[in-house]
Amino acid sequence: MNADKKIIITHPDKVLFPEAGFTKQHLADYYEAVSGSLLPFLKNRPIMLHRFPQGIGHHGFYQKDIGNAFPDWISRVLVAREKQDPIEQAVINTKAALRFVINQNTVVLHPWLSTVKDLHKPDKIIFDLDPAEGGFKTAVKGALLLRGLLEKEYGLTCFVMTTGSSGLHVTIPIKPNHDFDAVRPFALMVAEQLSALHPAEFTTEQRIEDRKGRLFVDYLRNSYAQTAVAPYAVRALPGAPVAAPLFWEELADKNLKAQQFNIVSMPERLKNGGNPWQDFRKNAISLTKALAKQKSEMQQKKA
């Protein structure tokens, strides 16, 4: 029923991106244009919404709990929280639901790494490579090194995208056979392996003062209730850049930037066959062998 629901964009001329002049209607049109590629990465996942009622030039807010504020035809899931009451989060499975949240001045969509089938078992691993200003080339190098490590050592298939902000995400589809308590330590150990091989450029130190200019290989998103920006989601930055899935070969382009694509160029890219993540889920495998290999290697080091 909700898939066919007609959502009228209210105040379509409201300017959400003042520098570029992009309006709420521009934003809605963009999300409509990319919905076929975006929705598979939102489906059946709790979503955190980043809303900007007065445009990105003013403070926005993050919304997790939708309570009674959303109509009952919007799918939702009850999310347990430690030492707090559970909350209801939206689940965006249809174009109508997507259009509804955009009409609520949602600019950015942050889905979970797990689905409603079992919120404690992720079906992807994410490494966030967010460099210091001017360090995008280091993020590119880190992405390539991570790919080599994960594919050669652990047999995992890696995908890469610009975040639309300042860095890159390397994302690995996995079958949801293990909980976050197993997946996060695996991600940490991979990050430590990379940092040990290239200690002058990469680190797992969480404290900024301890990084000493090195890029933090951020594995921390691989935890219960953590989120990451969705592929094709818009960022609340001047020019309306978007998180853009890339072909690995594109990292060789010396002119590549983290904000390479925006709400104007991304629909054209998709029309011209620029959807490098279309087989993302088809490449998911169990993490069981990778976890066993990592455990064996750790035991050998201790011996």
Give 183-203 pLDDT, tens digit per residue.
999 999 999 999 999 999 999
pLDDT at position 220: 97
Residue 297's pLDDT band, with cuts at 50, 70 and 90, is confident
Block residue for tokens 């020019």 = 239
Look up the pTM and report it: 0.96
Give the CA dihedral 250, 252, 255, 259, nearest 10 degrees.
Answer: 40
Count CA atoms closer than 13 A to 251's CA, side-chain side: 24
Confidence (pLDDT) at 127: 98
* pLDDT tens, position by position, 59-100: 999 999 998 889 999 999 999 999 899 999 999 999 999 999
299/303 Cα distance (integer angstroms) = 6
Q: How far apart are CA 152 and CA 149, in angstroms?
A: 5
Q: What is the pLDDT of residue 37?
A: 98
pLDDT bin (cut points 50, 70, 90) of residue 120 is very high
pLDDT score for 69? 86
Q: Is the pLDDT of residue 3 over 80?
A: no
Q: What is the mean pLDDT of residues 252-275?
A: 96
Q: Are 173 and 166 in contact (CB under 8 A)?
A: no
Mean of pLDDT over the chain: 96
Q: Where are the alpha helices (DSSP H) in the chain?
A: 24-38, 95-103, 136-154, 180-197, 208-211, 265-271, 288-302
Answer for the pair 261, 241: CB distance below 8 angstroms, yes or no.
yes
Give Cβ neighbours of residue 186 (< 8 Å, ≥ 6 apart).
125, 287, 290, 291, 294
- The per-residue pLDDT for 4 is 65
Whether the per-residue pLDDT at 21 is higher than 80: the answer is: yes
Q: 68 or 179, which is more confident?
A: 179
pLDDT at 1 over 80: no
150-174: average pLDDT: 97
> Over 60: is that where the pLDDT of 224 sits?
yes
